[in-house]
Structure 1
Amino acid sequence: MGVRGLQGFVGSTCPHICTVVNFRELAEHHRSKHPGSTPTIVVDAMCCLRYWYTPESWICGGQWREYFSALQDFVRTFTAVGIKLVFFFDGMVEQDKRDEWVKRRLKNNREISRIFHYVKSHKEQPGRNMFFIPSGLAIFTRFALKTLGQETFCSLQEADYEVASYGLQHNCLGILGEDTDYLIYDTCPYFSISELCLDSLDTVMLCREKLCESLSLNVADLPLLACLLGNDIIPEGMFESFRYKCLSSYTSAKENFDKKGNIILAVSDHISKVLHLYQGEKKLEEILPLGPNKALFHKGMASYLLPGQKSPWFFQKLKDVIALDKEPIPINSDPESRQVPVYTDPESRQDVPMCTDPESRQDVPMCTDPECRQEVPMCTDPESRQEVPMGTDPESKKEVPICILPEIKQQLPIATDPEVKLEAPVHLNPEIKQEDPMNMDPEIKQQGTMVSDTEILKVARTHHFQAETYLVYNIMSSGEIECSNTLEDELDQALPSQAFIYRPVRQRVYSLLLEDCKDGASTCPAVKEWFVYPGNPLRHPDLVRPLPMTVPGGTPSLKMLWLNPEPEVQARRLDTLLACFNLSSSREDLQSVETPFRALCCLLIYLFVQVDTLCLEDLHAFIAQALCLQGKSTAQLINLQPDYINPRAVQLGSLLVRGLTTLVLVNSACGFPWKTSDFMPWNIFDGKLFHQKYLQSEKGYAVEALLEQNRSRLTRFHSLKSVVCKACMKENRRIVGQSHWGHTGRWGRPSSGSHRSGSGYSRSAQGQPWRDQGSGNRQYEHDQWRRY
């Protein structure tokens, strides 16, 4: 998100800081200036998801084959001109950013309601103005890029901080993203992804020095300006009265500027004409109305200081900033302080281009060093930057915590998915390495991790940073995870939210990862789940306790699953994975299924046992689309058009994709018993194809018609269906067609609820539908969602 109002200000008031540049020319200039050095662009991937997702259809669950092809084109284009790309993804949400994260998720909920209202009214996908990126896009993009051989990392703290650090320390050509915070960081140049023309490799660069020139500020003043204006750490209201005081005394307010533009000019004027007079003579808190917000303000300032940098505005050491976190902070306090270095004098960094703005995640490119700037072409029309469609992004820009950068190479642990080891080994910045939880003070370590085994924690951290796992390190380190919005209709009471359907699986994973709790799950600390589902106001996390599971032969240790290279351990890994889904009794049948359908069958069995309102027609549609997908080209999938859009099919598509992300969690927690490629969506799921099969199945099409009269598919279809139905029958779940549900229709089926429950507990018994689960501050200890 970035600095409040800076995005619009740059476009309307300071368009001259936006310059059209060409990556091919910049790369040539870099090579001539640094012989033997490969021009590298560090990419803030979360900012780019919307740009990368070019398929026309987005509502059916994702056009994954098309999306993979688009990513491939993106990588090829840069590789062809000799530019190396390094991708960073958000790895977790920092406590300081939780309020902002919640605000965006609730806003997304309102937009999702509008989407379903439109679909029900028009039976078609809304226009691009209501675009909502498919569930799991960020997660699967990581694996797609790794499959394409790209260096891909998942942040251990705020992602934009790691991006800016990497760009600075590796003398990168620039940062590609969409966040005004990259204008604030004193790092390499910042380029706008929304303005990128892939065919020509032209984009817009935002020049930090030109911005400073326009505001009569130094580069070292930008973090101060950002905090006074408000960002994701400093609430906008904290300095509101101060800003208006600056505005009232600002004599150069221009009538043709908007209100926010004038405020930015007024605050900048106050910094340059008033605060500069006292700089070095008085402490910052003596010349600013910080009051009880001093700690939060200093934290906001420190968040912009990259390794080795200092700020002329305060000279606190790292430990002092940590100590500040222990003071009571009335607004957005963070009990677990973020450890950040301090800022350098701008004059000491003449060779390094300016910095960008990590919070805004909107557009703002950047300026290169003086030599490079002489060759830069003319400015773009600021208004042209408004043409890019904007909508809410449920996955993108989840804020994150800790910085690690490439200097020291680490060996990968034993249990690694062989297909994902495509990029260079993980690199750790030696400075940041000291911030490793394993090397922290005992007090900090105890507060910050849920697992006492430092060796296992280091392995989890390495896999996390190399973007090979999903949520595993978050669970083990902080005991807090989140999942963004999913296309779910809050008015449809028949289908439970994916958050509840897959919760028992997550609970078993918790018991596996939090090994200290195995003997007594009831005494184990609850994991904090920030999962978005209809009816959840997100005021508090759901407190979810681990759920014991039964693994044949006993639950193996993480050291066995992750570090033991013996071939026989692979069978133990598979046993553990199936136990997480409570499918140990179906091991033999699932093993007989060929890839990539084995993972799909596992998910389908789990879903149909969990959700009573899934019927035979749904099963046919899921299996038929997976079989037909194998024989279709990307071009055929692009040209595919379902007759109309069905809201229930929209939910089912998203539900399956969320199941695939859950498989990523389980598979990595169990030491990779399955190849990740076996359950990547571009291999087993296509949104439009599933939608077409769903509509056909609901109309009563014969199986032969669903399979497009292909006899070889028919044999495989019956084999897969048999595996799923047989496993469900073991759980007393008979899958029937909708015609068996009586004259009341599918949604009139009498049942105790659409979601199976166990342990003597049922939502209906409490008189509460599953959609209305309270404020999200309750504890979940038992497997409430299954009837066995």
Structure 2
Amino acid sequence: MGVRGLQGFVRSTCPHVCTVVNLKEMAEHHLSGHPDCTPTIVVDAMCCLRYWYTPESWICGGQWREYFAALRDFIKTFESVGIKLIFFFDGMVEQNKRDEWIKRRLKNNKEISKIFHYIKSRREQPGRNMFFIPSGLAIFTRFALKALGQETLCSLQEADYEVASYGLQHNCLGILGEDTDYLIYDTCPYFSISELCLESLNTVMLCREKLCESLGLQVADLPLLACLLGNDIIPESMFESFRYKCLSSYTSSKENFDKKGNIILAVSDYISKVLHLHQGEKKLEEMLPLGPNRALFYKGVASYLLPGQKSPWFFQKPKGVTVLDKQEIPMSSDPESKQEVPICTDPEFKQEVPMCADSESKKEVPMCIDPESKQEVSMRIDAESKQEVPMYIDPEPKEGVPMCIHPEINQKLPVGTDPEFNTEAPKCVYPEVIQEDPMNMGSEIKEQVTMVSDPEILKIAKNHHVHAESYLVYSIMSSGEIECSNTLEDELDQALPSQAFIYRPVRQRVYSVLLRGCQDGTSATYPVVKEWFVYPGNPLRHPDLVRPLQMTIPGGTPSLKILWLNEEPAVQAQRLEILLSCFNLSSSREELQAVDSPLRALCCLLIYLFIQVDTLCLEDLHAFIAQALCLQGKSTAQLINLQLEYINPRAVQLGSLLVRGLTTLALVNSACGFPWETNEFMPWNVFDGKLFHQKYLQSEKGYAVEVLLEQNRSWLTKFHNLKAVVCKACMKENRRIVGRTHWNSHHTGRWGRQSSGSHRTSSAYSRSGQGQLWRDQGPGSRQYEHDQWKRY
């Protein structure tokens, strides 16, 4: 998101800051000056997703074959002129960005509601002005880029810091993205992705030096300006009164400038004429009304300092701000927030990671663990809980993340601890190497707090994470906290539970695989995992606290060292056994192994879905299988030219539901040591949104299977084989898949089985009068029973 108001200000008030450049010409000029260095552009991939997603259809779950082709063309264009691309993805949401992340997710919920209202009233896809990126786009873009041979990295903090740092350290041609923070960082040139013309390779370069000339500032002043204006770290309201005070005394206001523009000019004027006057003589907090916000403010300014850089505004250690280099860095996965802070060094990347703590932040939620419980419980946050769980101490550390020091009490608290509750989560602690503080605040020993105690396993997980080979695994093992962004789900449709609930039992089993070493040694208690999952009715005030779900594996579950490092055939069989166990499908192993790739992974997913969700019917199964088979014979051009009669809101949800299942497969596969090749469950091989929608509409109308399969006799045989595998596996769980005519919708308009004694995910919700239950129970208020979330 960047600096508040700066984008519009630059375009309207300082257009000379924006210069049209040709990237091919710049690359040639760069190569002439550095003949031994390939011109390289660092790409902030999260900023580029909307630019890359060019398929006309986006509502049906994603046109993945088209999207893959668009990415390939993008890469080829740069390769043809000798430019190398390095892609960075966000690998986490940092704690001080959580509020901003939540704000965006809740805003997206409103947009999704409007989308479904539009679909129901118009029966067509909304215009591009309501565009919402398909579920899983960021995740699968990582895998797509790797499949296309590109260097793809996932950040260990907010990606824009690592992007800016990489660009500076490697003398890159520039940064390609769409974030005004790249105007603030003192790094290589910043190019706009939104202005890029791929055919000519012309785009707009935004020059920070020209911006400084317009504002009467120096480049080193830009971080200060960014924080006074407000960014993703500093709330815009924090300095609102200060900005208006600057505006009231600013004598050069011009009527043709908008209000935001005048404020930026006024604050810049105050920095250049007032703050510069006393710079070096007075402390910054004496010149600015920082008050209780000074720790957060210093953190915000420090977040723009790249390795080796210092700020002229930090000439001594601010009093009372001892928490500045004590920030916790929880590793999580959602790809949708931006940027963060610098000051500790990652031993593998040799770069400083600036860190400080928000003096007012009290966001950590206590993890309440019942040592006697043998079942999954998403627990309510109990303010009176005083229980403590032993922490793991490793005497031979390898790498570190500092502990959080709460500014109001003089003691260290492990991450996952709230000083008001005094409740500890089981974590592992490692000492950290001493690193220089870029704000000259002295050297301190830092400690890493993680969920897993084995440094070798953590290093492997971290390596897979950094190289974009896994999904969520390192976040679970390092911080015990993950997130999942918005999905196209209709909050008014009570027949289908949210994907967050449907796939929760799978995630719980993955937690048990990854966190086995965190048991306290005296009981079967596992630490809980914080889940920030977006679903209708969730206000996101607190994370859902979810306990791992143990599995019974013949011969026992092997250690992660064996599972991840041992290449013996017997271990490979164990990997597959555990993967199937995560979906509770061990009894269908033989049938699934008889299915050819890539339909094997899809078949596994369909079995799980139809066992879990009572409201799926035979027509849905026909549509899923038919689209997967027909996709094998379709060219990209045929998929592009496919036209739909109308858009069905239920089919929209089902498309998103399946794609979220594919992302869940990515989690399970990476946690189990990659028993399946990633290519097996990539959506461009098994799913096309428009094609599925077409098959769904045909199946809903009662078309024969032969019509669904476009009269292809070879596909007909495969269809019946796949259907038999799914139906047989479901029957083992007493789940009989029936056609729509056997369902009882009554006046509610919901799908519900007339009689069911099952405890599937949706069985408590699909019956008449119960559909709202899962939507009304927000996080922090649920006391889920184990069988409420699993069928088995």
TM range (shorter): 0.7 to 0.9
Letter in 2 for 1:166: Y
Contact kept, 8 Å, 2:329 with 2:401, in 1: the verdict is no
Q: Secondary structure at the match of 2:773?
A: coil
Determine what percentage of the aligned residue pairs are the same residue.
79
Are 2:224 and 1:224 equivalent residues in the alignment?
yes
CA 767–41 in structure 1, closer or farther in 2 if over 3 Å, else same = closer
Contact 2:55 / 2:66 at 8 angstroms: preserved in 1?
Answer: yes
- Equivalent residues in 2 for 1:199-218 (5 A)? 199-218=199-218
Q: 1:65 to 1:645 in 2, by over 3 A?
A: same
**Distance change (3 Å), C-alpha of 1:747 and 1:563:** same
Q: Which residue identity does 1:571 align to in structure 2? A: A
What code does the residue aligned with 1:629 have? Answer: L
Say if 2:761 and 2:791, in contact at 8 Å, map to a contact too. yes
Query: Alignment partner of 1:324: what SS?
Result: coil
What residue identity is the alignment partner of 1:463?
H
Deviation at 1:398, TM superposition (A): 2.5
- Once residues 702 and 629 of structure 2 are traced to their aligned partners in structure 1, the CA distance between those partners, rounded to angstroms, is 19
Asked if the contact 2:2–2:232 (Cα under 8 Å) also holds between the matched residues in 1, the reply is yes
Partner SS state of residue 88, structure 1: strand
SS at match of 2:43: strand
What RMSD, in angstroms, separates the aligned Cα atoms of the two structures?
2.8
For 1:338 and 1:736, the matched residues in 2 are separated by 45
Task: Indicate whether 1:471 and 2:410 are aligned.
Answer: no
Aligned-partner SS, 1:175: strand
Q: In structure 1, give the amino acid aligned to 2:658.
A: L
SS at match of 2:492: coil
Deviation, 1:555, is 1.0
**CA contact 1:528–1:544 (8 Å) conserved in 2:** yes
Contact 1:667 1:674 in 2 (8 A): yes
Partner residue of 1:635 out of 616, 629, 637: 637
- In structure 2, do the counterparts of structure 1 residues 520 and 710 end up closer, same or farther at CA, with 3 Å as the change threshold? farther
Q: 1:455 and 2:456 equivalent? A: yes
Q: Which residue of 1 aligns with 2:171?
A: 171
Residues 768 and 708 of structure 1: is their aligned pair in 2 closer, same or farther, counting only changes over 3 Å? closer
Aligned position for 1:398? 337
Aligned to 2:432: 440
The 1:758–1:16 alpha-carbon spacing in structure 2 relative to 1, beyond 3 Å, is: closer
One-letter code of the match for 2:246? C
Separation in 1 of the partners of 2:202 and 2:522? 59
| Residue number in structure 2 paired with 1:774 | 778
Kindly report which structure 2 residues correspond to 1:129-528, keeping only aligned pairs within 5 A, or say none: 129-315=129-315, 323-324=323-324, 336=328, 397-399=336-338, 428-429=349-350, 440=432, 448-517=449-518, 523-528=525-530
* 1:35 matched residue in structure 2: 35
Provide the rounded CA distance (Å) in 2 between the counterparts of 1:740 and 1:628. Answer: 28
Counterpart amino acid of residue 747 in structure 1: R
Q: Distance in 1 between matches of 2:677 and 2:527?
A: 32
Any stretches of 5+ residues in structure 1 without a counterpart? 327-334, 340-393, 409-426
**Preserved contact between residue 92 and residue 157 of structure 2 (Cα < 8 Å):** yes
Q: Deviations over 1:176-201 (max 9, x none)?
A: 00000000000000000000000000
Q: What residue is the counterpart of 2:539 in the other structure?
A: 537
Deviation of the 1:567 alpha carbon: 2.5
Matched-pair contact (CA < 8 Å) for 2:765–2:772: no
The Cα shift of 1:757 comes to 3.8
Contact 2:759 2:787 in 1 (8 A): no
**Partner AA of 2:597 in structure 1:** T
Deviation at 1:771, TM superposition (A): 1.7
Contact 1:165/1:405, CA 8 A, preserved across alignment: no
Q: Give 1:740's match in structure 2, choosing from 733, 739, 742.
A: 742
| Separation of aligned partners in 1, 2:782 and 2:322 | 31
Does structure 2 conserve the Cα–Cα contact (< 8 Å) formed by 1:125 and 1:645? Answer: yes
**Residue 542 to residue 436, structure 1, CA distance change in 2 (3 Å):** closer
Tell me how far apart the structure 1 counterparts of residues 587 and 330 of structure 2 sit (CA, whole Å): 46
Aligned residue among 715, 718, 727 for 1:716 = 718
Q: Does 1:749 align with 2:747?
A: no
Instruction: Report the CA distance between 1:58 and its aligned residue.
Output: 0.1
- Ranked by relative contact order (alpha carbons within 8 Å, sequence separation 6 or more), the top structure is 1
1:753 CA displacement: 8.9
Q: Measure, in 2, the Cα distance between the counterparts of 1:338 and 1:507.
A: 20
Give the Cα separation in 1 of the matches to 2:161 and 2:102.
Answer: 21
Three-state SS of the structure 1 residue aligned to 2:775 is: coil
Alignment CA distance shift 1:15-1:767 (3 Å)? closer
The residue aligned with 1:70 is 70
Q: Give the drift of 1:525.
A: 2.3
Conserved in 1, the CA contact under 8 Å of 2:302 and 2:342? no
Kindly state the Cα deviation for residue 609 of structure 1 after the two structures are TM-superposed. Answer: 0.3
Deviation at 1:57, TM superposition (A): 0.1
Indicate the SS of the match to 1:176: strand
Offset, 1:336: 1.7
1-structure distance, mates of 2:62, 2:80? 28
Q: 2-side partners of 1:669 and 1:318: how far apart?
A: 44
CA distance in 1, matches of 2:330, 2:592: 45
Residue among 660, 667, 672 paired with 2:662: 660
Matched AA of 2:432: M
Alpha-carbon displacement from aligned partner over 1:253-296 (angstroms, at most 9, x marks no partner): 11111111100000000000000011111111111111111110
Displacement after TM superposition at 1:748 (Å): 5.0
Q: Matches of 1:613 and 1:703 in 2, distance apart? A: 21
CA distance in structure 2 between the partners assigned to 1:755 and 1:204 by the alignment: 59
Q: Could you say what secondary structure the match of 2:656 adopts?
A: helix
Over 3 Å counting, the alpha-carbon distance change for 1:108 and 1:338 in structure 2 is: closer
What is the TM-score when the length of structure 1 is the normalising length? 0.85
**1:727 aligned residue:** 729
Distance 1:759 1:50, change over 3 A: closer
**Aligned mate of 2:580, from 574, 578, 581:** 578
* 2-structure distance, mates of 1:743, 1:766: 13
> Would you say 1:602 and 2:620 are equivalent positions?
no
Q: Which amino acid aligns with 2:449?
A: G
Deviation at residue 754 of structure 1 after TM alignment: 12
* CA pair 227-702 structure 1, distance change in 2 beyond 3 A: same
CA distance in structure 2 between the aligned counterparts of 1:195 and 1:743, rounded to whole angstroms: 50
Per-residue deviation, 1:447: 6.2
Q: Give the direction of change, closer, same or farther, for the CA distance of 1:763–1:126 in structure 2 (3 Å limit).
A: closer
Contact 2:613 2:761 in 1 (8 A): no
What CA distance in whole angstroms lies between the structure 1 residues aligned with 2:318 and 2:603?
Answer: 51
Distance 1:254 1:245 in 2: 17
Q: What is the alpha-carbon distance in structure 1 between the residues aligned to residue 475 and residue 785 of structure 2? A: 20
**1:117-150 deviation per Cα after TM superposition (whole angstroms, max 9, x unaligned):** 0000111000000000000000000000000000
Partner of 2:592: 590
Higher share of residues assigned helix:
1
Given the superposition, is the C-alpha separation of residues 742 and 233 from structure 1 closer, same or farther in structure 2, using an over 3 Å criterion?
closer
AA partner of residue 557 (structure 1): S
2:624 pairs with 1:622: yes
Deviation at 1:759, TM superposition (A): 14
For residue 454 of structure 1, report the CA deviation from its aligned partner: 1.1
Distance change in 2, residues 1:530/1:708 (3 Å): same
- For residue 436 of structure 1, report the CA deviation from its aligned partner: 6.0
> For the residues of structure 1 that align with 2:534 and 2:781, how far apart are their CA atoms?
13
Corresponding residue for 2:122?
Answer: 122
Please give the alpha-carbon distance, in whole angstroms, between the structure 2 residues aligned to 1:607 and 1:255: 60
Count of residues in Structure 1 that have an aligned counterpart in Structure 2: 708
Counterpart-to-counterpart distance in 1, 2:94 and 2:81: 37
1:19 partner letter: T
> Per the alignment, in what secondary structure is the counterpart of residue 490 of structure 2?
coil
Deviation of the 1:402 alpha carbon: 8.0
Partner residue in 2 for 1:360? none
Native 8 Å contact 1:611 1:756 kept in 2: no
CA drift of 1:774 comes to: 2.2
- The one-letter code matched in structure 2 to 1:32 is S
Q: Distance in 1 between matches of 2:297 and 2:228?
A: 9
Match of 1:695 in 2: 697
Matched residues in 1 for 2:736 and 2:186: separation? 62
SS at match of 1:474: helix
Give 1:506 shift: 0.4
Q: Is the contact made by 1:475 and 1:527 (CA closer than 8 Å) also made in structure 2?
A: yes
